[in-house]
Amino acid sequence: MPEIDYRLAFEHAPVGMVVSSNRTIVACNERVCEIFGATPSALVGHSFSILYPSVAEFERIGKRMEPFLNASGHYADNRMMKRLGGLHGAIAGETFWCHVTGHAMNRAAPHEAGIWTFEDLGSRRAVKAELTPREREVAAQVMRGLTSKEIGKALGISHRTVELHRARLMRKYAAATTAELVQKLIAG
């Protein structure tokens, strides 16, 4: 059997891949650069916060994923991310839905070192509606198929507040049903 060049496999993987240390990008592959419209030098050595719509969301999601990483070493969700732009046809500041999966190398200190994958769910289409950070969080949970009560528990808010945000999302996306909303969220 021929020897496998793991570095080459990393570089040319069909999904975006990042090696991180303390939520800073240590290494990334070509696909991540395509997804975010950036060069490796624009990503490596920088905090993941540059890829989020806001620093507040970066901090909130980091806190939310920590218990999962502590418990199992793994975390996955769909979230809005932000393109840096300039390359591969990406528009700077454009937001899009992204599926993010991570593995903590040390569960006791989950952000210390990790391996992350990124998949563009928006098929290179921007999110059309302007959403608040809380609406983005609720939308991500709706895409997971959670009920308002489950979303409220996950986000630490009441289910009635979730229902208000869901109603705003449905209005902004002109969706008559939750299934239609999910379809429109994914399609951008």
Average pLDDT rounded to a whole number, residues 28-44 = 95
Which residue in 145, 65, 137 sits closest to 101, CA to CA? 65
Same-domain check for residues 107 and 143: no
- Domain residues for 66? 6-125
Asked if residue 124 has pLDDT above 50, the reply is no
Asked if residue 111 has pLDDT above 90, the reply is yes
Q: What angle do CA 115, 121, 124 make, to 5 degrees?
A: 110
Asked if residue 87 has pLDDT above 80, the reply is no
Instruction: Tell me which residue has tokens 């905090």.
Output: 47
Residue 36 in any domain: the answer is yes
Q: How far apart are CA 54 and CA 168, in angstroms?
A: 20
What is the number of domains present in the chain?
2
Report the amino acid identity of residue 38: A
Report the amino acid identity of residue 142: V
Average pLDDT rounded to a whole number, residues 26-46 = 96
**Structure confidence at residue 112 (pLDDT):** 96
**Structure confidence at residue 188 (pLDDT):** 57
- The angle, 0 to 180 degrees and rounded to 10, between the axes of the packed helices 133-143 and 55-72 is 40
Write the DSSP symbol of residue 126. -
Residue 1 in any domain: the answer is no
Report helix, strand or coil for 98: strand
Least trusted range by pLDDT, from 42-46, 124-128, 145-149: 124-128
Average pLDDT, the chain: 88
For residues 144 and 31, which has the higher predicted lDDT (pLDDT)? 31
pLDDT band per the 50, 70, 90 thresholds, residue 127: low
Same-domain check for residues 137 and 87: no
